[in-house]
């Protein structure tokens, strides 16, 4: 089944403790992206990647890191999480081969930083 898989689904952590949220897609998509969703603010793009070793900042990259060492994986790293990073996070991927950018989203990771 074609899908975007992110783990974990739920995570509670403490301020300053480094964490990684994993994301994997099995559709051979070139583009991958991370979003955070907060009430009243919609979906905001954190980082995106156009291909292996090619990444760029979205609208809210501060406090986050990403890497794209393999085409299928795009982990999100929070080196020193803070309470304002409590949010619902979505990973997404897109083929973008036709010039369109229809992202397929994962199920989401609800992160709480205390």
Partner 1 sequence: GENVEQHPSTLSVQEGDSAVIKCTYSDSASNYFPWYKQELGKRPQLIIDIRSNVGEKKDQRIAVTLNKTAKHFSLHITETQPEDSAVYFCAVNAGGTSYGKLTFGQGTILTVHP
- List residues near partner 1 by CB under 8 A: 31, 33, 35, 40-45, 48-50, 56, 58-59, 90, 94, 96, 99-108
CA 47-36-34 angle, to 5 degrees, is 30
Supply the minimum distance, in Å, between the C-beta of residue 98 and partner 1. 9
Nearer to partner 1, 40 or 114 (CB): 40
Cβ of residue 65: shortest distance to partner 1, in angstroms?
17
What is the smallest separation between the CB atom of 12 and partner 1, expressed in angstroms? 18
Closer CB to partner 1, 81 or 106, in the complex: 106
Both tokens of 50, joined, read 């156009």
Distance CA 67, CA 84 (A): 22
Find the shortest distance in angstroms from Cβ 42 to partner 1. Answer: 4
The CA-atom distances, in angstroms, between 94 and each of 21, 59, 71, 103 are 19, 18, 12, 5
Closest to partner 1 by CB, 108 or 112? 108
């Amino acid at each position: 089944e074609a899908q975007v898989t992110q783990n974990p689904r739920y995570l509670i952590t403490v301020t300053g403790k480094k964490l990684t949220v994993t994301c994997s897609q099995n559709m051979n998509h070139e583009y991958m992206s991370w979003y955070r969703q907060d009430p009243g603010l919609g979906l905001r793009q954190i980082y995106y990647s156009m291909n292996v070793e090619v990444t760029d900042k979205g609208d809210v990259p501060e406090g986050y890191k990403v890497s794209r060492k393999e085409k299928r994986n795009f982990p999100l790293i929070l080196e020193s999480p803070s309470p304002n990073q409590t949010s619902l996070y979505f990973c997404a991927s897109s083929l973008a081969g036709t010039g369109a950018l229809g992202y397929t989203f994962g199920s989401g990771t609800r992160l709480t930083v205390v």
